[in-house]
A and B are shown apart, each in its own frame.
Chain A
């Protein structure tokens, strides 16, 4: 193993690692800002500078080489870091910045050029994401996410020098661009220049209204990530504590989106079996990711017939809550407010879609992201880690393990296959293969005498590759699961800002732990699901099921 000297100490390292990697591995602290472990290093912010053999260099994109003599901090480096920090912060009002870990150390540097403060309009015309470019310090993380990872290209740097900003084409509002509202940009933005459009006020208003019956549904991935907002270790499962916290906030009922996920599983499995039988519109792709739906509507409208017509778990839950649940408990659906806690910014857009009103009202009223819910709990002095566990309310809080794994990549496929296995009896698949976290996976499935190929994809960049193949007729899959965010919902755009792939993998394991803990692991075993079908919907894919649980898509290409 080659060796380098860091601050006078000899350290062995693996070939091909950067200086920053080596230092982090050996617990030597180097400040960074534009660096993100999942993104290409750009060396833009120059906070990670170190002295290599007497020369100042950026550690994030310099490879460690045998014999290097590195000093990570001295007076000169400190001075340079400070100047660079002041330059980065020179065009923003530091008091407007939403503080995050990345930027804490920069906060002391006020703008150098007060008179050069930007005064651009705030873009908040869409329901999901708010952009205040006046807070942008050009770290470029949002652009690397949008361009390199998601291949969406809604924003890109425009103008040059001190005028550079992360801009939409012609500075138009985000809803007129190809943006899918996946929110990955808001996940990495260190200043809050791009953030989710907050619904906290609306929810608080509804909670205070005596006449309203306010219910909340919590997304599968939420229980594996919300704890991080309160300093718990990544991958901590806090299901019971979360329910207690939500009850403390004043929600009349705390339900589970996992129940909606069970319904989606059940409908989607039947839809898939029907399509395979009739050999119609194959490959079928999943439909539970709203960013993926917008991506298809804006880029590949000619392929929309491949998407399953099932609504997402969130919307199925909303439709059932304002019809079946309202009738069951004799509540006027007009007075029910459905709030959902989601790891996602695109869900905010989904619930505003005009066709998502099958109950006669807006099926889901407000969406809170993980970050917003964390903020709301803190504002109300609720310290999540210290709470006791409680159970979800009945009936819509009853769910199977299939629902829980919806939050991770490959989860939807597993859930659907569990139902198909029960229906078709003879099925063979490598279950362990399904549990991995990888961008594009191919999995063989034996169903009776048929051999099928499943594709499991996360990241819109990967999805684009597969869709290009499909357009050219080169796609061999029969079923494709797509999640827009890296790792699935557990890496969603509304998750805590510390999210990276290592943390995502830990959250994924937490969801599988939740699944294994449960006795009821298959969607069709859910007793409430049976009740809803027996008393309300009839059969899967029936006319009534289509009315409440299925949707349609629109061509949004310009």
Chain B
């Protein structure tokens, strides 16, 4: 089972999600039933089963970040990119994140897993240029 997680991580890193065909191949190679692989892949939030948009933007919405304006940032991103939370457009997906432990740098956002700290609207508008 330990090996299964490693294999899933490798696929996730390579494709950005877990393609169905690849999981079927993995099941044959490792003799782990496909239902168990699917079960594991849906349990951990680190794995995606569908192709993700090019940019995945996460905004941390735990107390420290909210106190420093995270909700306003979400509103700003929604307006600039013309999308809603959890409802992606062609290029971008906006998500709420749980605390990632950088409270002293709040508010924190991530773009494709890269962390950006002490965000404000000016910094954000620069970052969002490529996402438009």
Contact = CB atoms under 8 A, between A and B. Distances in A.
- The yes or no verdict on A and B being binding partners is yes
Interface of A: 153-160, 167-170, 177-178, 558
Given A153-B33, A154-B35, 14 more contacts: A153-B36, A156-B33, A156-B35, A156-B36, A156-B38, A156-B39, A157-B39, A158-B42, A160-B42, A160-B43, A167-B38, A167-B39, A168-B35, A169-B38
Contacts of A159: 42-43
Contacts of B20: 170
A169 B49 CA distance: 12
A167 B43 CA distance: 12
A177 B42 contact: no
Q: Which secondary structure dominates where chain A touches chain B?
A: loop
Interface residues of B, number: 13
Interface string B73-94: 0000000000000000000000
B43 A169 contact: no
Nearest to B43: A160
17 contacts: A153-B33, A153-B34, A153-B35, A153-B36, A155-B35, A156-B33, A156-B38, A158-B38, A159-B42, A159-B43, A160-B42, A168-B35, A169-B23, A169-B34, A169-B35, A170-B38, A558-B24
Interface in B16-64: 20, 23-24, 33-39, 42-43, 49
B12 to A, nearest CB: 16
B36 to A, nearest CB: 5
Contacts of B49: 170
A153 B40 CA distance: 14
Contacts of B43: 158-160
Contacts of B33: 153, 156, 178
Contacts of B23: 169
A558 to B, nearest CB: 7
B31 to A, nearest CB: 10
Nearest to A152: B33
A73 to B, nearest CB: 36
B93 to A, nearest CB: 19
A160 B40 CA distance: 10
Contacts of B34: 153, 169, 177-178
Contacts of A154: 35
B11 to A, nearest CB: 15
A62 to B, nearest CB: 27
Nearest to B36: A156
Give me the 9 closest cross-chain CB pairs, A-B, nearest first: A153-B33, A156-B35, A169-B34, A169-B38, A156-B39, A158-B42, A159-B42, A153-B35, A158-B39
B1 to A, nearest CB: 13
Nearest to A179: B35
Contacts of B35: 153-156, 158, 167-169, 177
Contacts of A178: 33-34
A529 B20 CA distance: 52
Nearest to B41: A158
Contacts of B42: 158-160, 167
A186 B36 CA distance: 20
Contacts of A160: 42-43
Contacts of A170: 20, 38, 49
A155 B36 CA distance: 8
Contacts of B36: 153, 156
A157 B35 CA distance: 8
Nearest to A153: B33
Nearest to B32: A153
B19 to A, nearest CB: 11
Contacts of A558: 24
Nearest to B45: A160
B18 to A, nearest CB: 10
A153 B20 CA distance: 17
Nearest to A178: B33
Contacts of B39: 156-158, 167
A540 B33 CA distance: 41
